[in-house]
Amino acid sequence: MISSTRFAKVAPSHVFRILNKFGPRRRGLSTAAKVDPLGDKVHSDIEEMRIAGTYKTERVIVSPQKAEIKVSNRNQPVLNMCANNYLGLSSHPDLIVAAKEAMDTHGLGLSSVRFICGTQDIHRELEEVISKFHRKEATILYPSCFDANAGFFEAVLTKEDAIISDSLNHASIIDGIRLCKAQRHRYEHMNMKSLEEKLVASKDARIKMIATDGVFSMDGDIAPLRDICDLADEYGAYVFVDECHATGFIGKTGRGTPELCGVEDRVLVINSTLGKALGGATGGYTTGPNELIDLLRNKARPYLFSNTLAPAVVGASLKVFEIISHNTELRDRLESNTTFFREELAKSQTIQTLPT
């Protein structure tokens, strides 16, 4: 190694200028403090996740999303049983054609939020189609259902109100609730006695909103919406349902848990996604009363400050609703396959299935 004294004698002056330019201060570190608290914390967090077994790695798919996929570093295709591609529409040829046609007629993107210059005729058409499908008055589109959940509670509820949430609700509902100033109550998972206790505790709130997933994605639990609506009626509360893991295939015609439980007219608001059963691309929405949707258009921050949904996704989504509204063939096949799979698993001596 060259000593610092010797280096000073042989190094040209411009080398020192370069070293000073890219020294500790330019790297975000003080010259006085050689420590890196952020780097230390990040490293520690990652190590803790590795030890706990929660560190995540990403599988790289080199084919379209479908039942059989190709992955990197493997020659043979693999059976994919972990996607949310419930109806097998993620690579449906009719959707791909519709997406390409929408790009030809409406471009790649809008480079704008909706209220400035980001609303095309097909966006309004899709909102009307979704409203009709769910039998609601109006719909508002978002880049994702995470955004829909993030935008809803803050825009609608204040400190005078109360939100009563199932303890196993999706992270996006939890985060959305955190953003609003309403009183927060959490009831035990699908426990109606616990829900009633929370409703009693929030009896003085101006607005009481019960929030639940329709289908809970981890275990497949289906919320007892009829019982929830009965309690809502008794205590003057409103019902909000996240239908991301239900829209398109739960219920006789795929209209989700409200249809399955016979309470479509008793659920005030439905939030759902275009990114699972409905093509698997991206996008989410809120559907409900006309005036409430109008309020969200003016106050929901993810809507106001995020680019509008890409025309290709809108075009493909219109085709999805055309397909699932025409007949129930896809959801019927899914139900049949699921029943067959569970029955065969039940015959196994080593695999235990959860009750339906």
Token representation of residue 3: 């000593």
Give me the helices (H) in 65-215, please. 93-106, 114-117, 121-134, 145-156, 171-179, 192-201
Write the DSSP string, 139-170. Answer: EEEES-HHHHHHHHHHHH--TTSEEEEETT--
At 5, the amino acid letter reads T
Active-site residue set: 217, 245, 276
CA–CA dist 272, 164 (Å, integer): 19
H-run or E-run covering 345? helix 329-346
Q: Which long-range contacts (CB under 8 A, 24 or more apart) does 225-234 make?
A: 225/257, 225/258, 225/260, 225/261, 225/263, 225/267, 226/261, 226/262, 226/263, 227/192, 228/192, 228/195, 229/261, 229/263, 229/266, 229/267, 231/192, 231/195, 231/196, 231/199, 232/208, 232/266, 233/266, 234/199
Rounded to whole angstroms, how far apart are CA atoms 168 and 163?
A: 14
